[in-house]
């Protein structure tokens, strides 16, 4: 990858806010610097929105709402479909940009373009199926008509770890439903959303339907938007503590919310598992996105009779992983997003080792430039270790042994989170029992990656509210009206 290709791409990324179809600087001229986590170098300076800009973006979304919500579903669907086609044509640009601003490998970034793009295609197909129903009342005296309506202007907040997919997973169903949006990407990786907004313009999206604000003052800019009575929906993906704070702000206006929050996924390997499949699944569930996924397996709960063999095999694989800049050929593990992420991984491993865990490989940050962490395996992790309670968000695989199925279930469910679980067993009945017993919104049964645009993505307990994707996804942006009419 030559520097010229990177440079040319970066000059094509807008550096302004998109408000009402106009790209403009921040009202106070403020900017924020976006860095490449593999080098620490600033790759682009972009506008940093003020509170006033946030208000202007919401004004624009409100203004565009009446005509967009009345635009025929087929027309909205075709714009989404066109956006999908353009994204596939520009796949390499988006992959490179995500690798530059977030650090993931080009191969993974291409995977995210494919995954993120599917939301555009899926919801272009769902847009025309947001139908209601007509039924006689049970007494026969009336007719009940149930119709679906777009909720109104929405505020979408996305995290840094999947810069494209988290945006398309919200924008596509919102537009399909007839809603207009203000989107605020994470300040660490805002460039992908800016380039995507340009693509939406090219796909023929009318001005004001999607507005983009990038800012280094997320809290101050977001709160007035969330408290504005004209806003009808907040969709947030990010950490649980921030989600809780936003829910408190949303409560005042009884605002519709969707929350995709943190996870602490158990990965259970039973004694009857196919270990080859379990090791393959573990590598994907743990090291995808450098371990920085809400769906990342956080606790490997492995039957004591196979724990050593599983540990030996994964350690062999993990020790071989090639760490480096995501754009470099052959690299499998990029940098963590920042210094704080490196210190967190380091201290979680140190705490586990202090409490008696065995460090099999890795365990330390790698000297800069860039914020890299060694791919790590720790085994025999003791109950009560921080690593079992907190989201690691890094390339650290922690193994806890168990002896009975009940014990495995108890350990797996011993968390306030409930996003996803992974189970490896060759027994059908055991797999079925796990579907019923594990308290998570999603499960991979002999599968290490579950995300799919056609599936309802979302968590139980403190992992969130609502679902993104699937037939469910569009309903987050629709509200129901029931009308009673007399019998004809
Ligand atoms: P974060 O909560 O720090 O930030 C998420 C977004 O919220 C960013 O855009 C950030 O700028 C913004 N934000 C931060 N403080 C805010 C405030 N006070 N008011 C308004 N906006 C604010 O999370 P992150 O570090 O960007 O992302 C990692 C977290 O996201 C992890 O916990 C991960 O599990 C979670 N995540 C969840 C899903 C899911 O679908 N469940 C998907 C990806 C990531």
The model's pLDDT over 298-308, given as tens digits with 9 standing for 90+, comes to 999 999 999 99
pLDDT of residue 137: 95
Q: Is the CB of 294 under 6 A from ligand 1?
A: yes
The model's pLDDT over 156-183, given as tens digits with 9 standing for 90+, comes to 999 999 999 999 999 999 999 999 999 9
The model's pLDDT over 137-163, given as tens digits with 9 standing for 90+, comes to 999 999 999 999 999 999 999 999 999
Q: What are phi and psi of 458, to 5 degrees?
A: 165, 170
Residue with tokens 């408000």: 19
Q: Which pTM was predicted?
A: 0.98
Q: Is the CB of 187 under 6 A from ligand 1?
A: yes
Among all residues, which ones are annotated catalytic?
260
| pLDDT greater than 90 at residue 3 | no
Instruction: Give which of 206, 161, 207, 215 is closest to 184, Cα–Cα.
Output: 215
Pocket test for ligand 1, best of 57, 167, 183, 242 (most atoms within 8 A of CB): 242
Measure the CA–CA gap between 326 and 333, rounded to whole angstroms: 7
The model's pLDDT over 271-328, given as tens digits with 9 standing for 90+, comes to 999 999 999 999 999 999 999 999 999 999 999 999 999 999 999 999 999 999 999 9
| CA 163 – ligand 1 centroid, Å | 11
| pLDDT greater than 70 at residue 1 | no
Question: What are the DSSP calls for 306-359, one per residue?
Answer: HHHHHHHHHHHHHHTPPBS-TTSTT--B---SSHHHHHHHHHHHHHHHHTT-EE
Provide the ipTM: 0.96
Asked if residue 369 has a cis previous peptide bond (ω within 30° of 0), the answer is yes
Residue located nearest, by CA, to atom 30 of ligand 1: 238
Q: Is the CB of 289 under 6 A from ligand 1?
A: no
| CA 240 – ligand 1 centroid, Å | 8
Q: Is the CB of 225 under 6 A from ligand 1?
A: no
Residue located nearest, by CA, to atom 43 of ligand 1: 294
What does pLDDT average to over the chain?
Answer: 97
Give the residues across from 302 on adjacent strands.
269, 401
Provide the pLDDT confidence category of residue 364 given band limits of 50, 70 and 90. very high
Q: Is the CB of 157 under 6 A from ligand 1?
A: yes
| pLDDT greater than 70 at residue 351 | yes
CB 42 within 8 Å of CB 187: no
Q: Is the CB of 43 under 6 A from ligand 1?
A: no
| CA 238 – ligand 1 centroid, Å | 2
Per-residue pLDDT averaged across 233-237, rounded? 98
Residue located nearest, by CA, to atom 26 of ligand 1: 159
Provide the pLDDT confidence category of residue 368 given band limits of 50, 70 and 90. confident
CB 392 within 8 Å of CB 362: no
Q: Is the CB of 332 under 6 A from ligand 1?
A: no
Instruction: Give which of 6, 15, 9 is closest to 194, Cα–Cα.
Output: 15
């Amino acid at each position: 990858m030559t520097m010229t290709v990177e440079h040319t791409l970066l000059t094509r990324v807008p550096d302004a806010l998109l408000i009402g179809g106009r790209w403009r600087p921040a009202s106070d001229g403020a900017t924020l610097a976006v860095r490449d986590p593999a080098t620490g170098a600033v790759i682009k300076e972009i506008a940093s929105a003020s509170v006033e800009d946030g208000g202007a973006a919401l004004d624009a979304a409100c203004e565009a709402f009446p005509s967009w919500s009345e635009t025929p579903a087929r027309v909205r669907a075709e714009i989404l479909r066109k956006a999908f086609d353009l994204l596939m044509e520009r796949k390499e640009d988006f992959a490179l940009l995500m690798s530059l601003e977030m650090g993931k490998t080009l191969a993974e970034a291409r995977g995210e373009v494919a995954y993120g793009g599917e939301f555009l295609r899926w919801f272009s197909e769902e847009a025309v199926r947001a139908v209601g129903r007509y039924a006689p009342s049970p007494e026969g005296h009336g007719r009940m008509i149930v119709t679906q309506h777009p909720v109104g202007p929405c505020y979408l907040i996305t995290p840094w770890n999947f810069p494209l997919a988290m945006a398309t997973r919200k924008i596509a169903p919102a537009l399909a439903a007839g809603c207009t949006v203000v989107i605020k990407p994470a300040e660490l990786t805002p460039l992908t959303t800016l380039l995507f907004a340009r693509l939406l313009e090219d796909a023929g999206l009318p001005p004001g339907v999607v507005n983009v604000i990038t800012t280094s003052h997320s809290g101050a800019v977001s709160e007035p938007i969330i408290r504005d009575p004209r806003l009808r929906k907040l969709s947030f993906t990010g950490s649980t503590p921030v989600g809780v704070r936003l829910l408190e702000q949303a409560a005042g206006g009884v605002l519709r919310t969707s929350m995709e929050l943190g996870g602490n996924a158990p990965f259970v390997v039973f004694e009857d598992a196919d270990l080859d499949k379990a090791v393959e699944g573990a590598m994907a569930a743990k090291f995808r996105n450098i371990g920085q996924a809400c769906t990342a397996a956080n606790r490997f709960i492995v039957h004591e009779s196979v724990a050593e063999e599983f540990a030996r095999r994964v350690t062999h694989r993990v020790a071989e992983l090639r760490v480096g800049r995501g754009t470099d050929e052959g690299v499998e593990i990029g940098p963590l997003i920042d210094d704080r992420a490196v210190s967190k991984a380091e201290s979680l491993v140190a705490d586990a080792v202090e409490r008696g865990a065995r460090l099999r490989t890795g365990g330390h940050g790698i000297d800069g430039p860039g914020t890299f962490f060694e791919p790590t395996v720790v085994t025999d992790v003791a109950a009560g270790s921080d690593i079992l309670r907190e989201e690691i968000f890094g390339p650290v695989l922690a193994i806890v042994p168990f002896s009975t199925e009940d014990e495995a279930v108890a350990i797996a469910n011993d968390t306030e989170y409930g996003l996803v679980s992974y189970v490896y067993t060759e027994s059908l009945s055991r797999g079925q029992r796990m579907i019923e017993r594990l308290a998570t919104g999603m499960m991979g049964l002999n599968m290490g990656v579950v995300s799919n645009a056609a599936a309802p993505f979302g968590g139980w307990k403190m992992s969130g509210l609502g679902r993104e994707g699937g037939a469910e996804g569009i309903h987050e942006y629709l509200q129901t009206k029931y009308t009673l009419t007399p019998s004809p």
